[in-house]
Amino acid sequence: MGKFICKICGAEENTERWTNGKELETHQMCQSCNHWREQHELDKTKRGEHGYAIFNGRHYTLLPHTDAQIFRGFGGRKFTVKFNDGYETVCDNVWYQGDIPEGYWREKMPDNVTYLVS
C-alpha cells in the first residue's frame, strides 16, 4: 500500500490512512471518489430506480419503514418524494450520503427527483 493519484479527480491518496486501502488501490480512486463509486453501483444494482433519490445534487437512500424509530434516517421524519418518471412516494426512513461532487460524479449521477420535502 502507498500513495497514488486518483484516476477520477486527481487527488493524491495515501492508502495507509484507510482500512479499505486495498480497495482504493484496486480502483485507483481516492476515498471520496470510491464512496461515490460504491453509491452509484448500489443505486444501479441493489436499490433500484425508486430506492434512492438525487435532488439538487444531494444523494439519499429510501429504506423501508421500521418500527424502531431510533434506526430510521432523519429520526423517522416523513419525506414526500416525486421522481422524474412521475412516481411519487412517502418514506419515513431516508438517509443522506452527501453532496455529489461536481464534474464526473454529477454527470454519472444526475438528479432523478423533482420534489423532495419533509
Q: What mean pLDDT, rounded, does the chain reach?
A: 93
Contacts of 90 (CB under 8 A, 6+ apart): 78, 79, 80, 81
Which pLDDT does position 28 carry in this prediction?
95
Contact 34, 18 (CB under 8 A): no
Q: Can you give the pTM of this predicted structure?
A: 0.90
Closest CA to 57 of 107, 11, 95: 107
Q: What does the pLDDT read at residue 38?
A: 97
Pick from 91, 10, 26, 84: which is nearest to 54 by CA?
84
Element (H, E) at 79: strand 79-83
Say if residue 22's pLDDT is above 80. Answer: yes
The residue with greater pLDDT, 10 or 74, is 10
Q: Using one digit for the tens of pLDDT, what is the confidence trace for 44-98? A: 999 999 999 999 999 999 998 888 767 888 888 999 999 999 999 999 999 999 9
pLDDT value at residue 118: 82
pLDDT of residue 116: 85
Q: What are the domain boundaries of the chain?
A: 1-47, 48-118
Percent above pLDDT 90 for the chain: 76
Read off the C-alpha cell for 10: 486527481
- Model pLDDT, residue 66: 80
Owner of C-alpha cell 419503514: 65
Q: What is the structure's pLDDT at 99? A: 98
